[in-house]
Structure 1
């Protein structure tokens, strides 16, 4: 039985965005391209002459720099050239700004990790070190640095973003001690609920917390990172063993997945949910949740909700637009290879294609999915 079928992919000229029978129709693809182009135009237009986004937080605020960093990250992920005038201004401002909040530093790290060059940007090296030192002793994070002290106040949203920033730096060759990932893994395992999902916070004595979509996707995506760093060698040889935090989290996703809202959270943090969902899809290689094509379904929801100026949502539209653009950008990555599921032990090397996708990404400097 053939367990994998090569798809026409990044190295064979697949048009960006093609995903089987989902959006490969020319007219639909043009609509996606227009949506992405409009979102890029909107975000680029929010970058002021000095390089920071309109409505950026005050310098004394813990979120200072966060909007600009997220905006730059989304633009770079969408393929905007670093020398595009507004993005160039934003990157210059970001590398000179003194950021002190977890979200802001993590998003700056994600942005700088996408800036091509033989060596990682010096500020990325500093941000990776800051993020590692900002964790509490148990691997959790809050809005500001805990300097490896005992965890007091924390939340899993900051914890996800910090881990994402450190992982982005690691992808650029910056060394991250395995102990960092062990602490991260311990934290997320301790937060997983009996239903397989994750919530925003579960402090000592709470016993349990409400699980919902964006936090469960955040937990899953982070556990995939930890698994690949700490445990992938155990799965080089064929094995039927399972990594329970991931399998239980995937079961939660199959049970609660929704395209039109953040599962078990209504419309709250909807575009953040899409961002986290795309991270899980890319990390896991899963095209379906609840037997439904998650990208195709969510794509049409996103396209239908875009405002006329290229933004999404109401009120403070910069973060929501950035998350929506990140979703579209992740989903438009060409499929390198499809793994076929069949009856029996079909997935005895669960991370084989994840490794191949990483190799192609680093070799050809182009993101691919599987």
Structure 2
């Protein structure tokens, strides 16, 4: 019994360490007390909306990914909700645990990587040792999805090191980013080959010919969706993927100061805007806000300079933007519905998670 308790304590310590990991030495920006109060009030209203649309079985829209995002928004919010705070947390996690399959995946009938990654992230936030078996099996499942020698890939293959939705054979940076975040936050060993293998794929999604061995690569430092494929058209870099590229490098243990990260940061500065997802218009706007908050938080610089040399305290500006976009009923929604951003649950979760990085 004592040995089991010791193992549980070690497991919790490892998960908490990774959940609080700092990827770069942060220049801390202190929000004004009034703005912090506004953020807290805004998040509370967003969470109240989410509670109002939660289903009796604990899910949101009977969807594991949405449920995992929503319950993560509660747990990462300024109030740091836990299972002890009520059934709205417990029942959501019970719903997700009921979907766990023998192979470690957590999904219904599609998008196994996307759903498993988000669910793994949610379970990791709880710090509850009861979920250790689910967490470890989900880690194994995600690791096995990576395109490596174990499934017939070699390092010359452009998709080497990538992970896709899990239902097709084409990895992409968005799905790899979800998986890496989940594996990092759940405490996967730093000795795992996953991180090194992922780096090969990440750099093949960057428009940086010095480190990208693909013939299509340009040199603006930004990122595309998948090697040779951009949702912005041709191989054009765009905002949300460049944010995801930076965070994915950090998860894969690439440090600030590495030229791949620095060139991506320069791209973000040059294209800095909160009116659109750069080079994508309003498409994926709230995913852009969420990934921007995450990338700049991990990069650890409070003031960025745009293409005109104008400095921006991005935390204050992003907070103001999200506060102004919130509807009176408490939710957020994108009028451009591509990538599910017409779904109030998804978009509200993205907004709350973005604000949580600012608080």
Question: What does residue range 357-368 of structure 1 map to in structure 2 within 5 Å?
Answer: none
Question: What does residue range 109-148 of structure 1 map to in structure 2 within 5 Å?
Answer: 109-117=120-128, 121-137=132-148, 138-144=160-166
Q: Which residue of 2 aligns with 1:187?
A: 201
Compared with structure 1, are the counterparts of its residues 178 and 81 closer, same or farther at alpha carbon in structure 2 (3 Å cutoff)?
Answer: closer
| Matched-pair contact (CA < 8 Å) for 1:259–1:294 | no
Q: What is the DSSP-based 3-state SS (H/G/I as helix, E as strand, rest coil) of the residue aligned with 2:252? A: helix
2:194 is the counterpart of 1:157: no
Please, which moves more after superposition, 214-223 or 175-184? 175-184
Distance, in Å, in 1 between the alignment partners of 2:243 and 2:43 is 23
| Matched-pair contact (CA < 8 Å) for 1:77–1:326 | yes
Question: What does residue range 218-257 of structure 1 map to in structure 2 within 5 Å?
Answer: 218-228=244-254, 242-257=257-272
| Matched-pair contact (CA < 8 Å) for 1:44–1:86 | yes
2:222 is the counterpart of 1:197: yes
Q: Which residue of 1 aligns with 2:302?
A: 287
**Per-residue CA shift, 1:152-173, capped at 9, x if unaligned?**
4222111111111111112xxx
Distance, in Å, in 2 between the alignment partners of 1:145 and 1:289 is 39
Aligned residues: 284
CA RMSD of aligned residues (A): 2.3
2:82 is the counterpart of 1:81: yes
Distance, in Å, in 1 between the alignment partners of 2:132 and 2:192 is 22
Once the two structures are TM-superposed, the CA of residue 306 in structure 1 deviates from its matched residue by 0.4
Once the two structures are TM-superposed, the CA of residue 119 in structure 1 deviates from its matched residue by 7.4
Correspondent of 2:290 among 256, 261, 275: 275
Q: Which residue of 1 aligns with 2:69?
A: 70
| Matched-pair contact (CA < 8 Å) for 1:39–1:325 | yes
Task: Return the TM-score normalized by structure 2.
Answer: 0.74
Distance, in Å, in 2 between the alignment partners of 1:181 and 1:105 is 18
2:26 is the counterpart of 1:24: no
Mind listing any 5+ residue stretches in structure 2 that lack a counterpart?
A: 1-19, 21-27, 101-105, 149-159, 208-218, 306-310, 335-341
Once the two structures are TM-superposed, the CA of residue 308 in structure 1 deviates from its matched residue by 1.5
| Matched-pair contact (CA < 8 Å) for 1:196–1:249 | yes
**Per-residue CA shift, 1:278-306, capped at 9, x if unaligned?**
21122111112223111111111100010
| Matched-pair contact (CA < 8 Å) for 1:71–1:318 | yes
Q: Which residue of 1 aligns with 2:189?
A: 175
**Per-residue CA shift, 1:36-67, capped at 9, x if unaligned?**
1011111222221111113x34xxxxxxx111
Correspondent of 2:321 among 290, 294, 301: 301
Once the two structures are TM-superposed, the CA of residue 208 in structure 1 deviates from its matched residue by 6.4
Q: What is the DSSP-based 3-state SS (H/G/I as helix, E as strand, rest coil) of the residue aligned with 2:286? A: helix
2:92 is the counterpart of 1:90: yes
Compared with structure 1, are the counterparts of its residues 210 and 320 closer, same or farther at alpha carbon in structure 2 (3 Å cutoff)?
Answer: same
| Matched-pair contact (CA < 8 Å) for 1:220–1:246 | yes
Distance, in Å, in 2 between the alignment partners of 1:80 and 1:260 is 31
Once the two structures are TM-superposed, the CA of residue 203 in structure 1 deviates from its matched residue by 4.0
Once the two structures are TM-superposed, the CA of residue 34 in structure 1 deviates from its matched residue by 1.1
Distance, in Å, in 1 between the alignment partners of 2:194 and 2:130 is 23
| Matched-pair contact (CA < 8 Å) for 2:162–2:201 | yes
Once the two structures are TM-superposed, the CA of residue 270 in structure 1 deviates from its matched residue by 1.1
Task: Return the TM-score normalized by structure 1.
Answer: 0.72
Q: Which residue of 2 aligns with 1:39?
A: 46
Correspondent of 2:60 among 24, 36, 53: 53
